[in-house]
Copies of this chain bind each other. A is one copy, B any other.
Amino acid sequence: MTRDTDYAVRALCFIARSKEKIITAADLVAALKIPRPFLRKLLQKLNKEGILASYKGAGGGFLLDEPPHTITVLRLISIFQGNFELSECLFKKRSCPGQDTCVLRGKIKLIEGRVSSELKKISIASLIH
* Residues of A near any B CB (own CB < 8 A): 1, 3, 6, 9-10, 13-14, 31-33, 73, 86-88, 90, 97-98, 100-101, 103-104, 107-108, 111, 114-115, 118-119, 122, 127-128
Contacts and interface: CB of A to CB of B under 8 A. Distances in A.
Chain A facing B: main interface SS: helix
A6 B115 contact: no
Contacts of A9: 100-101, 104
A108 B74 CA distance: 11
Copy number in the complex reads 2
Contact of A104 (B32, B73, B87): B73
A17 to B, nearest CB: 9
A114 B97 CA distance: 30
